[in-house]
Amino acid sequence: MFNRLKNLINLKRHLKETYSILNCPLFLSIFDFNIIKFLSKRKCGKRLYYNKERLSFLFTGKVSIPILVYVVTTRCTLNCKYCNSFMPAFTKETHLAPVSFEQFKEDMDKLLKSVDKIHVFQFIGGEPFLAKDLPKMIEYAKSKKQIEQIYLTTNATILPSQELLKALKGVSVEISDYRHVRGIKLYYDEIKALFKKNQIKYSVFQEEQGGTFYSTQDIYDVPQDDNTIKERSLTCHLRKCHQLCDGKLYLCPAHTHMDRNLKLNMFDNVVDIRDCSTKVLTQRLINFFSLPFYRICGYCHFENVKDNFPRAEQSPKTLKLRGGGAV
Residue ranges covered by each domain of the chain: 1-61, 63-326
Low-confidence stretches of the chain (pLDDT beneath 50): 318-327
Euclidean distance between CA atoms 27 and 172, whole angstroms: 11
Local structure of 37: helix, strand or coil: helix
Q: Are 53 and 15 in contact (CB under 8 A)?
A: yes
How much is the pTM?
0.93
Topology classification of domain 63-326: TIM Barrel (3.20.20)
What is the structure's pLDDT at 316?
80
CA 118 vs. chain centroid, Å, equals 12
Q: Which of 165, 216, 213, 232 is CA-nearest to residue 193? A: 165
218, containing H or E segment = strand 218-219
CA angle 55, 58, 60 (to 5 degrees): 105
Q: Which of 170, 181, 174 is CA-nearest to residue 81? A: 181
What is the structure's pLDDT at 141?
98
Question: Strand 218-219 and strand 300-301: pairing?
Answer: antiparallel
